Amino acid sequence: MSWKGDLNKIRRSAEIQGWRVVGQLPGMLEAKGLPRMTEYRLWITIPGLAVDDEDHWEPFIVKLEQEYDLGAMIGWHVGKAEVVVSLPSESEAHATRVAVDAITEALEATGLARLYPSSVAVELVAENELTTA
């Protein structure tokens, strides 16, 4: 099963909530061979990552996408960066650990070790958002 989530739907949802979405990298998650996995979408807040600081957030989001293939999207809401990722996992707790570890490692690798994820919201990706390969 391949994830072909509708990132435009996520973007619209973010804009409806008043977020300013300024960057997005397309991602494709492969879940082949993982029959009991469920797709989760996580909204992870990173305070202190400024929208006008493209020299820092752009390498971070590129690193996150290239190294972890989480379909990362970044936006800002109330002065805080929000990173949205999607991944197949066996549970919400496991998905959260994987996503937070990936974000923390990407922050460290791009010179942003002073920053950290401060909150996480997890949602189950609806079956109608998934397509089979």
Per-residue pLDDT tens digits for 73-121:
999 988 899 999 999 998 999 999 999 999 999 999 999 999 999 999 9
For residue 101, what are the contacts with CB-CB under 8 A and spacing of at least 6? none
Taking residues 66-72, report their average pLDDT.
87
Given a cut of 60, whether residue 4 has pLDDT beyond it is: no
Given a cut of 90, whether residue 130 has pLDDT beyond it is: no
Q: Average per-residue pLDDT in the chain?
A: 77
In one letter, which amino acid is 27?
G
Domain boundaries, the chain: 7-129
Q: What is the pLDDT of residue 30?
A: 40
Strand order in 80-89's β-sheet? 20-24, 73-77, 80-89, 38-47, 119-124
Taking residues 58-72, report their average pLDDT.
90
Pick the residue with more confidence: 69 or 81?
81
Q: Are 129 and 8 in contact (CB under 8 A)?
A: no
What is the rounded distance in angstroms from the CA atom of residue 120 to the CA atom of residue 99? 9
Q: What is the pLDDT of residue 125?
A: 86
Given a cut of 80, whether residue 53 has pLDDT beyond it is: yes
Q: Which of 16-25, 66-75, 122-131 is most confident?
A: 66-75
The topology under which CATH files domain 7-129 is: Alpha-Beta Plaits (3.30.70)
Taking residues 19-31, report their average pLDDT.
40
Q: What is the pLDDT of residue 6?
A: 44
Backbone angles phi, psi at 57, to 5 degrees: -75, -30
